């Protein structure tokens, strides 16, 4: 941490049930009467195997005809949304709120009759295709136990439940059974083959985990959905999105609109999250995308005229400004643009786009500025090497601009969204590679954001065992196994401003073989010790080129940037009413070793 003082100028798992065992009836060898006995036994055994499945028929509810009618009406209303959700899923598009709206109706009928196989199946499907997918296990298993033939897609979703439950071999068998039994399975062959591939990959990955810990950050999470984490390069500040109440009126399914929250870390503990101040949060969904590396700007998306658009907000003191829509040149006005990320130099924006003309859901695009002054962007371009035949994005770009972390439902996913790595070589992004287990699971794992030293990352996941739907998790990379040595990485390097205490440069870190230093500090009044807003220039003394120009926070005086190691720099600090301050300083190469 650099403390710059400037003198004032003199005045002036759910458990899987066992599969129903089909019992073979052995014919009795006892004269002509055996025929009647055989028939009676057949009827009795069929009755026992199906006894628990209660149909919505008047004969089963003679004493509550009104309740039956209301339940049937609820199922009919729910079916409308259920089919819309199914159509979207199989077209690789978002089901929106259709499954949630269907659940509201189905749960009314479920209270009346919880022992109907098809209703349990439909409720299970709604949950499996939501952020609370682990809730679907018990309903799918119950439906399978009541009547495994209750729906043509029963075996398919039974396989999905087994896959999420980590029973990969059984899931593959169920996928095979679906293909064999359902005449129209050819129409869904890509989903079946994809599911079987995911099971094989997930099983192998869990048998060979990478050296990383994944921990739920309890201080940040809630019983609701908490997702889209983004952090400053030093890991001290985090923003994320949550649909916890925050004063909003519940919507038609009892949920709440999304808002953006922040928290700061001290001594390894995160403070209680609070909604961002300023003009960012509204009465509709506001979803954080990506913080700039210095934490002064933020990309987000919001619904505008029925479509999601990407916007940018700037930190002004303690408040965030009202977002301004990014001027991308998009070929289709019907496109949704979401989950944007800054490039390392700030010249480009990466984002995901979905539009009616595309069959494969969201794809990763980028758009570059023609001028940083005018901020006009060129036409967006697709990155063919990182996109799959399923939904792709969000992305995160590392400090050196040579590595992309991308979430995708395609490629070698273990199920749902997984996080992949792509490297840029001579301007071309490589085919993404799965990061491995335990970072990725059969659930959704996405929204990767890393600290500068890449020792820690933050993701969102709806894996089983969380506090809500999606939760924020911390990933700790342990690195390759090696002989223990005395740790020196956290030692302070140097002081650049005398005589104030806490004058130091943050530890040098290695990012993809390129060495960077997180350089942060505060500008304060030398007498009052109060924060001062100041403009700062950083010069590479070897070339004489000004490489960074920025203004410290008007309320806190804080700043944070990243600089290449192994160089000598000059810092010049200017503030109205204060003396000019300048200093040279070195950032050694390999100081972290």
How many Å apart are CA 588 and CA 566, to the nearest integer? 5
395 and 433 in a common domain: yes
Q: Give the β-pairing of 403-408 and 381-382.
A: unpaired
536 and 465 in a common domain: no
pTM: 0.84
From first to last of its 593 residues, what are the pLDDT tens digits of the chain? 666 656 665 554 333 333 333 333 233 233 333 333 333 333 334 433 444 899 999 999 999 999 999 999 999 999 999 999 999 888 888 898 999 999 999 999 999 999 999 999 999 999 999 999 999 999 999 999 999 999 999 999 999 999 999 999 999 999 999 988 877 666 678 899 999 999 999 999 999 999 999 999 999 999 999 999 999 999 999 999 999 998 888 988 888 999 999 999 999 899 999 999 999 999 889 999 999 999 999 999 998 888 899 999 999 999 999 999 988 766 566 788 999 999 998 899 999 998 666 667 899 999 998 777 667 788 888 899 999 999 999 999 999 999 999 999 999 999 999 999 999 999 999 999 999 999 999 999 999 999 988 899 999 999 999 999 999 999 999 977 765 544 434 333 333 333 333 333 343 333 345 678 888 999 999 899 999 999 999 999 999 999 999 999 999 999 999 898 889 999 999 999 999 999 999 988 754 43
Q: How far is CA 472 from CA 102, 231, 273, 295, in A?
A: 28, 12, 12, 19
In a domain, residue 14? The reply is no
Q: Please enumerate in sequence order all residues whose Cβ is within 8 A of that of 450, keeping only pairs 6 or more positions apart, or say none.
A: 231, 396, 398, 405, 456, 457, 458
How many Å apart are CA 353 and CA 337, to the nearest integer? 5
Last residue of a domain, one of 171, 187, 207: 207
How many Å apart are CA 77 and CA 63, to the nearest integer? 24
How many Å apart are CA 5 and CA 496, to the nearest integer? 11
Number of domains composing the chain:
3
Of the candidates 467, 466, 459, the residue with the CA atom closest to the CA atom of residue 440: 459
Phi, psi (degrees; rounded to nearest 5) at 377: -105, 145
Phi, psi (degrees; rounded to nearest 5) at 298: -145, 135
3-class state of residue 365 by DSSP: strand
Of the candidates 152, 151, 125, 155, the residue with the CA atom closest to the CA atom of residue 138: 125
Yes or no: say if 271 and 263 are a contact pair by the CB < 8 Å rule. yes
528 and 449 in a common domain: no
499 and 466 in a common domain: no
Q: Please enumerate in sequence order all residues whose Cβ is within 8 A of that of 465, keeping only pairs 6 or more positions apart, or say none.
A: 216
Taking only the tens place, the pLDDT of each residue in 361-408 is 899 999 998 777 667 788 888 899 999 999 999 999 999 999 999 999
Yes or no: say if 563 and 517 are a contact pair by the CB < 8 Å rule. yes
In a domain, residue 371? The reply is yes
546 and 466 in a common domain: no
Q: Which residue segment(s) compose the domain that 558 sits in?
A: 2-9+487-587
Domain CATH code at residue 567: 2.60.40
174 and 224 in a common domain: no
Structure tokens at 39: 């028939």
In a domain, residue 144? The reply is yes
350 and 274 in a common domain: yes
Q: Give the β-pairing of 545-551 and 535-540.
A: antiparallel
Q: Could you give the count of Cα atoms lying within 13 Å of 55 in the half-sphere of its Cβ?
A: 5
How many Å apart are CA 120 and CA 140, to the nearest integer? 6
Last residue of a domain, one of 477, 496, 525: 477
Yes or no: say if 311 and 300 are a contact pair by the CB < 8 Å rule. yes
Tokens 């209303």 belong to residue? 77
Phi, psi (degrees; rounded to nearest 5) at 420: -120, 165
Segment (H or E) for 140: helix 136-146
DSSP code at position 577: T
In a domain, residue 22? The reply is no
219 and 274 in a common domain: yes
Last residue of a domain, one of 477, 512, 539: 477
Chain centroid, CA 224 distance in Å? 14
Q: Please enumerate in sequence order all residues whose Cβ is within 8 A of that of 415, keeping only pairs 6 or more positions apart, or say none.
A: 163, 164, 195, 198, 199, 202, 441, 442, 443
Chain centroid, CA 427 distance in Å? 27
In a domain, residue 27? The reply is no
In a domain, residue 17? The reply is no
In a domain, residue 90? The reply is yes
Taking only the tens place, the pLDDT of each residue in 119-146 is 999 999 999 999 999 999 999 999 999 9
In a domain, residue 24? The reply is no
Domain CATH code at residue 236: 2.120.10.30
437 and 513 in a common domain: no
Domain CATH code at residue 66: 1.25.40.10
543 and 497 in a common domain: yes
Structure tokens at 117: 């196989």
Structure tokens at 42: 């057949």
Q: Give the β-pairing of 514-525 and 508-511.
A: antiparallel
Of the candidates 321, 323, 328, the residue with the CA atom closest to the CA atom of residue 284: 323
How many Å apart are CA 330 and CA 307, to the nearest integer? 13
267 and 361 in a common domain: yes
167 and 68 in a common domain: yes
Chain centroid, CA 196 distance in Å? 24
């Amino acid at each position: 941490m650099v403390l710059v003082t400037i003198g004032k100028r003199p005045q002036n798992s759910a458990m899987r049930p066992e599969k129903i065992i089909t019992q073979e009836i052995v014919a009795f060898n006892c004269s002509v009467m055996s025929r009647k006995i055989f028939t009676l036994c057949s009827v009795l055994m069929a009755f026992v195997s199906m006894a628990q499945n209660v149909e919505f028929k008047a004969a089963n509810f003679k004493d509550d005809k009104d309740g039956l009618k209301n339940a049937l009406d609820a199922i009919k209303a729910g079916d409308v949304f259920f089919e819309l959700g199914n159509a979207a899923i199989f077209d690789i598009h978002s089901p929106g709120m259709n499954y949630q709206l269907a659940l509201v109706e189905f749960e009314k009928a479920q209270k009346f009759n919880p022992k109907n196989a098809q209703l349990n199946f439909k409720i299970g499907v709604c949950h499996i295709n939501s952020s609370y997918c682990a809730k679907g296990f018990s309903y799918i298993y119950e439906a399978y136990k009541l009547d495994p033939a209750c729906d043509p897609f029963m075996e398919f979703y039974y396989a999905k439940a087994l896959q999420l439950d980590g029973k990969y071999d059984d899931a593959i068998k169920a996928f095979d059974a679906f293909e064999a039994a359902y005449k129209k399975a050819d129409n869904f062959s890509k989903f079946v083959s994809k599911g079987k591939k995911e099971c094989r990959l997930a099983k192998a990955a869990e048998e060979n985990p990478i050296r990383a810990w994944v921990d739920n950050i309890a201080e940040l999470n809630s019983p609701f959905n908490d997702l889209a984490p983004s952090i400053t390069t030093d890991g001290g500040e985090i923003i994320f999105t949550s649909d916890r109440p925050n004063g909003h009126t519940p919507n038609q399914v009892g949920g709440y609109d999304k808002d953006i929250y922040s928290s700061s870390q001290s001594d390894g503990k995160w403070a209680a999250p609070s909604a961002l101040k300023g003009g960012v949060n509204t009465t509709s969904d506001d979803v954080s995308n990506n913080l700039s590396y210095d934490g002064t700007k933020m990309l987000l998306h919001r619904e505008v005229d029925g479509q999601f658009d990407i916007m940018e907000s700037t930190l002004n003191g303690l408040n965030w400004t009202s977002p301004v829509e990014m001027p991308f040149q998009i070929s289709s006005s019907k496109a949704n643009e979401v989950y944007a990320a800054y490039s390392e130099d700030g010249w480009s924006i990466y984002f995901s786009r979905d539009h009616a003309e595309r069959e494969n859901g969201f794809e990763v695009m980028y758009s570059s500025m023609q001028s940083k002054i005018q901020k006009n962007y060129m036409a967006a371009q697709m990155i063919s090497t990182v996109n799959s035949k399923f939904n792709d994005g969000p992305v995160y770009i590392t400090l050196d601009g040579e590595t992309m972390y991308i979430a995708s439902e395609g490629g070698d996913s273990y199920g749902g969204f997984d996080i992949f790595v792509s490297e840029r070589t001579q301007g071309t992004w490589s085919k993404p590679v799965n990061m491995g287990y335990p970072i990725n699971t059969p659930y959704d794992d996405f929204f990767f954001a890393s600290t500068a030293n890449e020792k820690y990352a933050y993701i969102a996941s709806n894996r089983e065992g969380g506090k809500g739907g999606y939760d924020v998790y911390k990933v700790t990379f342990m690195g390759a196994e090696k002989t223990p040595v005395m740790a020196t990485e956290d030692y302070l390097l140097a002081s650049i401003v005398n005589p104030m205490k806490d004058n130091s440069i943050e530890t040098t870190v290695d990012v993809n073989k390129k060495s960077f230093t997180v350089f942060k500090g505060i500008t304060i009044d030398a007498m009052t010790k109060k924060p001062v807003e100041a403009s700062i220039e950083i010069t590479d003394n070897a070339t004489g080129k000004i490489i960074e120009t920025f203004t410290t926070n008007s309320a806190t005086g804080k700043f944070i940037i990243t600089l290449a190691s192994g160089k000598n720099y000059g810092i010049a600090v200017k503030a109205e009413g204060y003396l000019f301050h300048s200093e040279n300083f070195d950032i050694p190469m390999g100081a972290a070793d």
